[in-house]
């Protein structure tokens, strides 16, 4: 049985939620393997909109097992609030359909406070984080002072771990003019939330290995996008985890040989939330039109997304860094009605042409896009469910994207609705 990894191949917000939900019908297990509740996946099912941040999209389908892997940083309070929210929409979430890795690192209120304080202190140099404590939590994980989910199972042994954590954080807080935190406050917070999250705890790596050996189909769900990867993204304007496909193995506890297919999600244009380089960004009426038609506002933050033409250079680069086998192209319908559409095929930097985005922060900010102009189409693609339903010029656009990024389009999404999807290659059967 094939196991599939879904990753964003731009700066996130590519429509992974819908694609994962669409694919999860064929999967037995859906796994989140990195990020935290800074992710935002919007799904529209039978006219009902669901917004998920921590929960894998598989929880919306009966009979599927959703797993949160060790590569995630988990805000336990946010998890319980999200569960309560979607249960009000009629979705049942219990230990029967959700498990959380015992070794997942926790996000605490002090992480969020530090995140917000740092952003404010950075002024114009702010990264543009969601202020949810993701970065500070990953720092503590790497610094070997994190509180992990399993630690809540032994509250009497928490004292030394909290002391080690606060030795670091209180020094930071003093330097930033924030009041110090007493250990008893942290202990009380953890003791209060423990009964609600511990029932979901499991040894996820072992569970996954057992299911794989049983022949179950596993779908790995990425958050953010490959261009926000801590190593391969537009550093320092990135997230604090690896978002490329290889993290699916590390962040779940399965070896890389368990991955059979990598599906990259990308919009038919480009968007970005927050600060950082964006070579094809449009500051004109066209960019505004794309944003309004695409309803480009962050699921988590509500911030308007920056919009621009499709950047084939960036997607071609992420195809290589994530080992992408096929693309799911989303929001093609947003380009309906344009007289002409531009695609970035390369960059100019100091008079030299580049076919990749350089790693230098200065160079990333100064590259100029080289465009190819393609005729648009007047007929609607919205709601199309077969290749034959698409205007001829829209098909030409898709084929040109495939040529430029060096990867076939496996799925084509033409609206937020689950069924408005055209399948060219089934990742589970490729």
Per-residue pLDDT tens over the stretch 267-299: 999 999 888 999 999 999 999 999 999 989 866
Average pLDDT, the chain: 93
Pairing of β 73-74 and β 41-45: unpaired
Q: Give, for 294, the enclosing helix (H) or strand (E).
A: none
pLDDT range class, residue 301, cuts 50, 70, 90: low
Q: Which candidate in 13, 115, 229, 333 is catalytic?
A: 13
What pLDDT does 300 receive?
62
What pLDDT does 105 receive?
98
Q: Which candidate in 21, 37, 41, 151 is catalytic?
A: 41
- Asked whether 284 and 222 are in contact (CB, 8 A), the reply is no
pLDDT (tens digit per residue) in 22-45: 898 899 999 999 999 987 777 777
Sequence-distant (6+) residues with CB within 8 A of 139 are 240
pLDDT at 13 over 90: no
Active site residue 283: no
pLDDT (tens digit per residue) in 68-90: 999 999 999 999 999 999 999 99
What pLDDT does 1 receive?
63
* pLDDT above 70: percentage of residues in the chain: 98
What pLDDT does 124 receive?
72
Quote the CA–CA distance of 221 and 247 in Å, as a whole number.
11
What pLDDT does 405 receive?
98
Lowest mean pLDDT segment, chosen from 4-8, 21-25, 154-158, 343-347: 21-25
- Asked whether 56 and 67 are in contact (CB, 8 A), the reply is yes
What pLDDT does 19 receive?
87
The mean pLDDT of 192-219, rounded to a whole number, is: 97
pLDDT at 212 over 90: yes
What pLDDT does 298 receive?
67
Phi, psi of 278 (to 5 degrees): -160, 85
Quote the CA–CA distance of 225 and 8 in Å, as a whole number.
4
Residue with tokens 């805000």: 75
Active site residue 231: no
Q: How many CB atoms lie within 10 A of CB 41?
A: 25
Sequence-distant (6+) residues with CB within 8 A of 132 are 36, 37, 38, 75, 78, 107, 112, 115, 300
Residue with tokens 């610094």: 143
pLDDT range class, residue 16, cuts 50, 70, 90: confident
């Amino acid at each position: 049985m094939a196991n599939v990894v879904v990753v964003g191949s731009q700066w996130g917000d590519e429509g992974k939620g819908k694609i994962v939900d669409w694919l999860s019908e064929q999967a037995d297990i859906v796994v989140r393997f990195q990020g935290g509740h800074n992710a935002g996946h919007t799904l529209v099912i039978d006219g009902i909109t669901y917004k998920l941040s921590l929960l894998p999209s598989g929880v919306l389908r009966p009979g599927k097992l959703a797993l949160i892997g060790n590569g995630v940083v988990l805000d336990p309070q946010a998890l319980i609030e999200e569960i309560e929210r979607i249960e009000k929409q009629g979705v049942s979430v219990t230990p029967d359909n959700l498990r959380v890795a015992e070794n997942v690192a926790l996000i605490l209120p002090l992480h969020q406070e530090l995140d917000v304080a740092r952003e404010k202190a950075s002024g114009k140099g702010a990264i543009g984080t969601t202020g949810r404590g993701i970065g500070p939590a990953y720092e503590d994980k790497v610094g070997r002072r994190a509180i992990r989910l399993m630690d809540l199972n032994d509250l009497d042994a928490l004292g030394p771990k909290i002391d080690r954590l606060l030795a670091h954080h209180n020094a930071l807080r003093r330097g930033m003019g924030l009041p110090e935190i007493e250990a008893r406050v942290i202990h009380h917070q953890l003791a209060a939330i423990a009964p609600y999250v511990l029932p979901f705890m499991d040894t996820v790596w072992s569970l996954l290995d057992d299911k794989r050996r049983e022949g179950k189909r596993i779908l790995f769900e990425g958050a953010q996008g490959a261009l926000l990867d801590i190593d391969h993204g537009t550093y320092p304007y990135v997230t604090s985890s690896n978002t490329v496909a290889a993290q699916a193995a590390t962040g779940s506890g399965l070896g890389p040989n368990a991955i059979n297919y990598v599906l990259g999600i990308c919009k038919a244009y480009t968007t970005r939330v927050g600060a950082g380089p964006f070579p094809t960004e449009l500051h004109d009426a066209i960019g505004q039109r794309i944003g309004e038609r695409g309803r480009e506002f962050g699921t988590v933050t509500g911030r308007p997304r920056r919009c621009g033409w499709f950047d084939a250079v960036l997607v071609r680069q992420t195809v290589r860094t994530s080992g992408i086998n096929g693309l799911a192209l989303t929001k093609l319908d947003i380009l309906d009605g344009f007289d002409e559409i531009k695609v970035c095929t390369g960059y100019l930097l100091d008079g030299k042409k580049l076919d990749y985005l350089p790693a230098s922060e200065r160079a990333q900010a100064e590259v100029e896009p080289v465009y190819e102009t393609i005729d648009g189409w007047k007929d609607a693609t919205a709601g199309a469910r077969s290749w034959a339903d698409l205007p001829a010029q829209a098909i030409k656009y898709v084929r040109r994207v495939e040529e430029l990024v060096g990867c076939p389009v496996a799925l084509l999404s033409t609206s937020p609705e689950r069924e408005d999807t055209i399948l060219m290659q089934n990742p589970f059967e490729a």
